[in-house]
Amino acid sequence: MERYGQLKVQGNKVVGKDGQRVRLQGMSLFWSQWMDKYWNKDVLSWLAKDWRIEIVRAAMGVDQGGYLSNPDGEKAKLERVVQACLDLGIYVIIDWHLEASDAHVDQAKPFFSEMAQKYGHYPNVLFETWNEPKYVDWGTIKAYHEQVVGVIRQYSNNICILGNPTWSSEPDTAARDPVSGENLAYTVHFYAASNRSPGRIQGALDAGHAVWATEWGTCESSGNGRVDTNSASQWMSFLEANGISSTNWAIEDKWESCAALTSGASSSGGWSDSQLTESGRWVRDTIRGHGSKALNSTVIV
């Protein structure tokens, strides 16, 4: 975090405190209500040290037994992760992890108001206001974002990352009718074995808006199926060339292809190669390779 400091959106790029291009790589935690055993500082410390991640996405589950059912419990898990990231000096995305068409704006607004008041003055905290809208048009999604970003902006000007139609696969749709304001980026979610073309990302960039890949997988969009590292490599090359940050799905030991960990992997980090899945090993190597390279530090004007 010391390298880049306070992030901001400048044109269709994210830049750091000195105007240098920023591309962060890291991992997404799995839904908080189902995989909270990995929501701890030991895991995050290992990811920062061994995997060399620069960012963590805290996917706080909202429905399906998540925040709506247990607000204090799920918020406590999230705050534990945020505090650990502050201690470790890495970036963290506070993610309202919801796929439902009803984004529960009446619950989201006070939640993000509290999070912005508590953490919005830290340069390494970002906000993802709606994970994956589905079965709903951009106009409805935009109106939701306008309300939620509005309450965040009362306390913080940190970057907000905005979901868009069809499980956040249409950043170009959002970019053609953008939410007004500063330090806004549009998320894109993709799974390498199912999604082949970054054309919709390019459309958003061409419209002058920043894109952030808050969730991507090496496998199929179901979270399962085959692992396609060839396609994933092409996606990573595109993200690198365009300065797009990303967090891989996910730190979990569920029996599925996109899981980074094998069943029963330690809940305190320290994983050997045998405790990583095919996807986990490939993603770790990719992140470590990125971390060892000197990024283009040209000041963007």
Whether 263 is in a domain gets the answer: yes
CATH code assigned at 102: 3.20.20.80
Give the pLDDT score at 299: 30
Give residue 291's pLDDT band: very low, low, confident or very high (50, 70, 90): low
Whether 68 is in a domain gets the answer: yes
What percent of the chain is modeled with pLDDT above 90?
91
Q: What is the 8-class DSSP label of residue 232?
A: H
- Boundaries of domain holding 124: 8-291
Whether 17 is in a domain gets the answer: yes
Give the pLDDT score at 212: 98
Mean pLDDT confidence for 246-259: 97
Nearest alpha carbon to residue 18 among 26, 35, 6: 6
Whether 23 is in a domain gets the answer: yes
Residue 298, pLDDT above cutoff 50 = no
Whether 283 is in a domain gets the answer: yes
**114 alpha carbon, distance to own chain's centre:** 20
Distance between CA atoms of residues 110 and 200, nearest Å: 32
Model confidence over 29-58: pLDDT tens digits? 999 999 999 999 999 999 999 999 999 999
Whether 3 is in a domain gets the answer: no
Whether 2 is in a domain gets the answer: no
Q: Which residues are catalytic?
A: 132, 215
How many H-runs (helices) and E-runs (strands) does the chain carry? 9, 10
Indicate the burial class of 199 (C-beta count within 10 angstroms; 0-12, 13-18, 19 or more): exposed
Crossing angle between the packed helical segments 105-119 and 71-88, to the nearest 10 degrees = 30
> Domain total for the chain?
1
Whether 210 is in a domain gets the answer: yes
